[in-house]
Structure 1
């Protein structure tokens, strides 16, 4: 399993607030399943950005989780990047 950072940039023309409740419900499901390790908005960004840290077998699996996110499905995310991450220290570091 590998960690991936998913970086969302939201489209300011879309109503993120309308989608946020179902988005957060989806994130709770991912967390309960063990795939999502952390998520949240990047404060003070314009346009608004958010980060998700997921643990999946590969980048394709990370992309599939993001593809099913209501923020992506509803077109609120106008740009997304997925980057493999190797935490060497801290709570995400693998022994």
Structure 2
């Protein structure tokens, strides 16, 4: 029984560490996003997160990527955020040609 209890404790510790790391990464991401966006863009992203969490997550990833790759100069305005969101939501046209 002692070995089983030890394994459970180790697994529990691993899960707690993993959860803590994820929470820290999420906190760092939020801080970076808040630095990169102006007030209106932050509000838009917060509203989007309520309505469409997946799209908000994609937008955050794109913003962070743009920041890390040096594509951003200054803060992101509401207009630029709108453009990013438009590109993310564009539907690809499917053309079917019959021969």
User: One fold, TM greater than 0.5?
Assistant: no
TM-score under structure 2 normalisation? 0.30
Larger relative contact order, structure 1 or 2 (CA cutoff 8 Å, min sep 6): 1
| Larger proportion of helix | 2
Q: TM-score, normalised by structure 1?
A: 0.31
- Larger of the two Rg values belongs to structure: 2
